[in-house]
Structure formats: structure tokens, C-alpha cells
Amino acid sequence: MKVLVPVKRVIDYNVKVRVKADQSGVDLANVKMSMNPFDEIAVEEAVRLKEKGKASEIVVVSIGPQQASETIRTALAMGADRGLLVKAEGEVEPLAVAKILKAIVDAEKPMLVIAGKQAIDDDSNQTGQMLAALLGWGQGTFAHKLELGEASASIEREIDGGLQTVDVKLPAVMTTDLRLNEPRYASLPNIMKAKKKPIEEKTPADYGVDTTPRLKVLKVAEPPKRGGGVKVKSVAELLDKLAEAGAI
């Protein structure tokens, strides 16, 4: 079974994000970038499936600038077999990403696509669902646990009320939640081996996809700083304060 894993290059989650002075976007200059944490979980799950003998090949795809090849190398060092970089400058919206991934799925014929549930830069949480819709495949989102069978997958997923188990026929799309697994650290020998693994380069035009944004960002601003709290002596005073603040 072939498994396809999309990964995204984002600002490292340990970095404090800075807004540009003109409020046109987020400042990426001299900022540490890394693989989206949810995508890292997706790669780990695919590698575990291969270690169990349930996956024969893991193909990692990234859509972004040339530097995204470093993100693919990280996935290859974790245990993926080969990579595909679709070179695209600027922001690529979820629908365009899903269309590119559909074209790649049509060419690669994987039985399972494992994607992170969302990227921590835009938090869209759309690509996996859009891809499943374009392919006409079943989907299991926010996966907490995966049990893979011969022709189906049982996916335990996190919902507001607890956990829900869904069975989907393969091929299918799955998106990962935080508690699915804990990604491994790539060992030095595997990092060296990853340098020799192939990364194919394509463009959106090769798949007939127009990545021109349909949305325009008018302004990006930091959230307002929280003010200090106050102590109140009674419930009545608390209600008065909330009313003054417009909270009730």
C-alpha cells in the first residue's frame, strides 16, 4: 500500500510571530522555519504503518518555495521514501492545494492520504476535507487512533463530546490530531541517508492548477494586549464591572 503525506513549511512553533510594520502580513525575515507539527504527526503515522508492514511506500509532498525541500528532507529522515516538491511562491490557498494534491493522487494512486488537520500559520483546517471531496473518497478527520485493515480503516476521532469511531473504505483521506502519536527525532544516520533520497520538482502549472489567490488580506495586526485584572468584593460589583465592559 502506498501512503501519501502532504507537509507544509511554517514558522517554528517556538518562535514568537512578528507582524510587519506596514501590517501587510507576518515577518518571515530571518525566522526559523520547520515542518507543521500536525504534518509531522502524519509522517510519523505513515512510518509506523510501514514498520508494521502495512505500507510499502511513503511519498511526501510539499507545496511552497524552494526552501520547502528542507521540510521534505526532514520527512525523508524520519522514514519516508521519496519526496515531491511543487514549487509555488506566495500564499497558496487551501482549495488550490487540494486541487494540486488531487492531481498528484491521480498520478501516484495511493490507498491512503494522511495529512495534518491544519497548519499552524493560517489554521484553515480545510485541505484534507476539500481533497476528500474532490476525490470522492471517505474521510476521517481529527484522528486520535488508526486501525488499518485490508480494504478499510477504523479511525477514532476527537470530537467536542469525546471520541467517535468511523469506518471508511480505502482509498481514504485521514487528518491527524495531536494525540495520535509522538513524532520521532531523526537519527544522524537517517539524516545522512535522506540526502540521497529523491525529491522530484514540479510546478502547479504541471498539474493544470491556477494558484492565484481568491482572497485578499487587508490588514494583519497583533491581538490587543490584555489588561490587568481587578478584585471585586461582591457578585453585584462583579456584574457591574462586566456591564461596564459590555460583557453582559
CATH number at residue 69: 3.40.50.620
- How far is it, in rounded angstroms, from Cα 111 to Cα 146? 14
Statement: residue 106 has pLDDT above 90: yes
Under 8 Å CB-to-CB from 120, ≥6 apart: which residues?
Answer: 10, 11, 13, 36, 37, 38
Instruction: State how many domains the chain has.
Output: 1
10 Å Cβ neighbour count for 214? 8
What percent of the chain is predicted at pLDDT more than 90? Answer: 74
Range(s) of the domain holding residue 161: 2-244
Statement: residue 203 has pLDDT above 90: yes
Residue 36: per-residue pLDDT: 96
Residue 228: per-residue pLDDT: 79
What values do phi and psi take at 166, rounded to 5? Answer: -125, 145
Whole-angstrom Cα Rg for the chain: 21
Residue 89: per-residue pLDDT: 87
Q: Across the chain, what does the average pLDDT equal?
A: 92
pLDDT, tens digit (0-9, with 9 covering 90-100), for 5-32: 999 999 999 888 888 889 888 888 888 9
pLDDT, tens digit (0-9, with 9 covering 90-100), for 149-162: 889 999 999 888 88
Statement: residue 118 has pLDDT above 80: yes
- How far is it, in rounded angstroms, from Cα 18 to Cα 29? 10
